[in-house]
Amino acid sequence: MTSTTPRIIRAREAYIQQAKAKAMEDPNLHQTIKDTIVTTVADNCEWDTHQHYREILDDIIRDLQQYADTLPTADELLAQNKL
């Protein structure tokens, strides 16, 4: 592990916390999540027609997991009376 690795990890964690806080303020978060899911799937399916759909599925899952990491959990939303 290099000396920059912990710094990169802390920066990513800070980014995720900021993204979660911003998402928590979105009055249309439910619709925003839906729109992002639909767009992510559509963009991945149209992006490279030479790719096998199993690879596309892996890309979709990875992209959606990265997106989910930037959102508050259902428990966090419930605690703020936003669910």
pLDDT tens digits, 8-56: 888 989 999 999 999 999 999 999 999 999 999 999 888 666 788 899 9
Q: Concatenate the DSSP letters of all residues of 13-73 into one string.
A: HHHHHHHHHHHHH-TTHHHHHHHHHHHHHHHHHHH-TTS-HHHHHHHHHHHHHHHHHTS--
What pLDDT is stored for residue 3 in this prediction? 61
Q: What is the reported pTM?
A: 0.80
Residues 4-21 have pLDDT tens digits of: 688 888 898 999 999 999
Write out the residue range of the structural domain in which residue 53 sits: 4-79
Rounded CA-CA distance 45/63 in Å is 12
What is the domain count for the chain? 1
